[in-house]
Amino acid sequence: MYDVSLGASCFPAQADEPLRDTTVGGILIEAAAEAPGALALLEVRADGSRGRQWTYRELLADAERLADALLSRYEPGERVAIWSPNSPEWVIVQFAAGLAGLTLVTVNPAYQRKELAYVLEQSRSVGLFLVREWRGNAMAEIARDVSASLEAIREVVDLDDPAALFARSSPSRPRPVVRPNDPVQVQYTSGTTGFPKGAVLSHRGLTNNARFWLSRMGPRAGDIYLNVMPLFHTAGCSIGVLGCVQWRCQIVLARLFEPNHILSVIERERVDLFIGVPTMLIAMLEAYGHQPRNIDTLRAVLSGGTGVPPEVAVRIEQTFGCAFVILYGQTESSGGLALTRVDDPIEERMHSIGQPFPHTELSIRDAASDVVPLGVVGEICARGYCVMLGYNDNPEATERAIDKDGWLHTGDLGVMDANGFVRMAGRLKDLIIRGGENLFPAEIENVLAMHPSVAEVAVVGVPDPQWGEIAVAFLRPRVDATLDAIDLVRHVRSELAAPKTPAHWVVLDALPLTGSGKVQKFVLRERWLAGDYSAHLLPARGGA
C-alpha cells in the first residue's frame, strides 16, 4: 500500500515498479529465453476437458513461424481482425501480429453482420481471422457476405485450418523493428451505452499495464492462472495473456465460461489465480452451493469491469477461502487504472477499487475539470503511459475523451480519500437527477445486492413528468427465491434515504450483457421506454 497523505483528490504517479519499454512480441521472446521448458499455455475445451498445451519455447516457435507467414501476406503497420472465441490460435495470432508489426483488431464473436461490417470498415482491416461457427453464429457465412462488400479485405482465414493460417504467398519480409509506442491493437469499447468506438492501444501501454494488474494479485513464477475472460476484451488478452507471460505463469485458457465446468477446472488443474466479472462469480457461487469442489489452491480472485457489490466480495472470500481484489479501468486506459492488493485492509478490498497503478496519475474532477476536495464525488480522470493513442479515425471523440493536458476523462464517478483509495459512485451518464437531487445507481445497487433474495441488480434512471427522472431497479432473483416490492422498499430504506428508493421493480430471468459480461443499462432503459417490461413489474410502487 502506498503511504500517502493527500490534500485534494489527485494522486501523483508512483514509481515503485519499473515502467519498461516492452513490446508484445518482445515479452514472449524474453519468457522463452528465461523459462523455455515451462508450461505456458493449456487449452480447456468447451466441455471443460483438457486440450493441447505449449511450453514457452513451443509458443514462441509457433508465434515466430506465423509472424513470418503473415509478413509474406501483409505489410507492417496494416490491420488484421480476429473474430473468434478463446483458443490457442487466438493467442498465437496475438503474439505473431506483435512480432510482425501488425495491428490486431479484436472482434466480439457474438457480432452479427452489421456489427462486423462496421468494425472491419472503421478499423481499416485488410484481413480477417475467424472460426467457422460459434454458439449458433454462422461466422464463416457472415464473413463471406460482409467481405464481399469490403474491397479492403484481402483474405478471410479459418483459424482451425493450419495450412491456411500458416500459408506463405511470397517470400517473407524481414521482421520489422517494433517500437514500444507503436500501435498494437484496436479494441472496441464494450458498448454499455451505445455503439462502440475503437481505442488504439500501444505495445508499451498494454504490456506494462498487464504486468501491473497481475502484480497486485501476488503472482509467483509457475502459478496457474485460469483465463475465462474473452480474449477480444482487455482483461482476456492483456492480464490473462501478457501479464501471465511476464510473470512466467501458466495460462489455462478456457474456450467457454460454464460455471460447473470452470469449478471443475479449478479443482483439477489446481488453479492459483482467477479473474471474472461479477455475473460470472455469482453464477459460480450458485453452482458451488449445489456442488462444492476442492479448490483450496485458489489464492486470489479479481473482479471488475462493472460495479462489484461488497456482498459478492464477502461471499467469494468466505466460500472459496481466497483473497478478493477489485479492479477499475477501461479499454481506453489499456485495461487498468486502480486495483486493490491482496494484503490491503479488508475494508478497502471490499468497498474500494484501491489505489492507482504505478506511473499513473488519478484525479477526481468536477464539471469544470477542477480537482475536487477529498470525499467529494466527481469524474475519475487519469494520465500516464496507459492512456490510449486515441480513438481510431475519430479525432472529435478523442478530443472529448482526452483533454489538452493529457487527462483521460473516463465518464465514471468516484470519490477519493486522503490515502488515495477510490470508491466508485457509478457512471456519469448513469447519474439520476430526481427532483434536483443526484442519485448514484452504484450506491443503490450495492444495498440491493445485500438482500438475501437478490442475485443481480441494475438501477437505471428513466424520465418522469413529476420528478424529471426516477430510479427503476431491474433484478434477477436467486434460485428458488421470490421478490416482494414492499420488502425491497423496506430493505433499501433501512440503509438509504427515502428518495433513493427505486420507484419501480422489474424482475427478469437475466440482465442484458455485453460480450465481456457488463450490464447494458442503455438496453434496459430503451426496453423500459418501449413498454417491454410491463409484464415483469412487481405490483407495488416504491419511493417516487
Give the CATH number for residue 149.
3.40.50.12780
Q: Is the separation of the CB atoms in 428 and 413 below 8 Å?
A: yes
Each residue's pLDDT tens digit, 229-249: 999 989 999 999 999 999 999
Strand ranges inside 145-217, DSSP E: 155-158, 183-188, 198-202
Each residue's pLDDT tens digit, 257-267: 999 999 999 99
- Helix, strand or coil, per DSSP, at residue 370: coil
Q: Considering the domain boundaries, does residue 3 fall inside one? A: no
Return the pLDDT at 437: 74
Return the pLDDT at 377: 92
- Please indicate whether residue 23 or residue 540 has the higher confidence score (pLDDT): 23
Cell 495460462 -> residue: 251
| 46 and 184 fall within a common domain | yes
| 465 and 347 fall within a common domain | no
Domain hosting residue 205, numbered range: 19-416
Mean pLDDT for 263-287 is 94
Q: Would you say residue 540 has pLDDT above 70?
A: no
| 326 and 382 fall within a common domain | yes
Q: Would you say residue 209 has pLDDT above 80?
A: yes
Q: Would you say residue 146 has pLDDT above 50?
A: yes
**Per-position DSSP letters for 62-84, written without gaps between them:** HHHHHHHHHTTT--TT-EEEEE-
Q: Which residues contact 243 (CB under 8 A, 6 or more apart)?
A: 210, 211, 213, 214, 219, 249
Each residue's pLDDT tens digit, 453-462: 999 999 999 9
Q: Considering the domain boundaries, does residue 542 fall inside one? A: no
Return the pLDDT at 193: 46
Cell 495450412 -> residue: 163
- Please indicate whether residue 204 or residue 108 has the higher confidence score (pLDDT): 204
Mean pLDDT for 346-373 is 94
Q: Considering the domain boundaries, does residue 456 fall inside one? A: yes
Cell numbers placing 25: 512480441
Q: Which of 368, 389, 416 is the last residue of a domain?
A: 416
Q: Considering the domain boundaries, does residue 423 fall inside one? A: no
Strand ranges inside 284-421, DSSP E: 300-303, 323-328, 338-339, 355-356, 360-365, 378-384, 390-391, 408-416
Give the CATH number for residue 465.
3.30.300.30
301: confidence class by pLDDT, cuts 50, 70, 90: very high
- Helix, strand or coil, per DSSP, at residue 222: coil
- Please indicate whether residue 192 or residue 374 has the higher confidence score (pLDDT): 374
End-to-end CA distance of the chain: 42
Return the pLDDT at 446: 87
Q: Is the separation of the CB atoms in 39 and 53 below 8 Å?
A: yes
Q: Considering the domain boundaries, does residue 110 fall inside one? A: yes
Q: Could you tell me which of 391, 389, 370, 392 has the C-alpha nearest to residue 379? A: 370
| 129 and 48 fall within a common domain | yes
335: confidence class by pLDDT, cuts 50, 70, 90: very high
| 389 and 439 fall within a common domain | no
| 406 and 489 fall within a common domain | no
Q: Considering the domain boundaries, does residue 7 fall inside one? A: no
Q: Is the separation of the CB atoms in 229 and 254 below 8 Å?
A: no
Mean pLDDT for 400-417 is 95
Q: Would you say residue 184 has pLDDT above 80?
A: yes
| 307 and 158 fall within a common domain | yes
Q: Would you say residue 358 has pLDDT above 70?
A: yes
Strand ranges inside 276-407, DSSP E: 300-303, 323-328, 338-339, 355-356, 360-365, 378-384, 390-391
- Helix, strand or coil, per DSSP, at residue 354: coil
| 181 and 247 fall within a common domain | yes
Q: Which of 389, 416, 443 is the last residue of a domain?
A: 416
Q: Considering the domain boundaries, does residue 544 fall inside one? A: no
Cell numbers placing 51: 486440450
pTM reported for the whole predicted model: 0.85
Cell 461490417 -> residue: 117
Q: Which residues contact 318 (CB under 8 A, 6 or more apart)?
A: none
Each residue's pLDDT tens digit, 57-106: 999 999 999 999 999 999 999 999 999 999 999 999 999 999 999 999 99
How does 201-226 read in b/e, with b if 16+ C-beta sit within 10 Å? bbbbbbbbbbbbbbbbbbbeeebbbb
| 369 and 454 fall within a common domain | no
Return the pLDDT at 111: 86
For the chain, percent of residues with pLDDT exceeding 70 = 97
Mean confidence (pLDDT) of the chain: 93
Return the pLDDT at 541: 54
Each residue's pLDDT tens digit, 415-453: 999 999 999 887 777 878 787 677 878 889 989 999 999
Q: Which of 350, 382, 416 is the last residue of a domain?
A: 416
| 443 and 383 fall within a common domain | no
| 329 and 396 fall within a common domain | yes
For the chain, percent of residues with pLDDT exceeding 90 = 81
Count structural domains, the chain. Answer: 2
Each residue's pLDDT tens digit, 99-137: 999 999 999 898 889 889 999 999 999 999 999 999 999
- Helix, strand or coil, per DSSP, at residue 156: strand
| 325 and 231 fall within a common domain | yes
Q: Considering the domain boundaries, does residue 167 fall inside one? A: yes
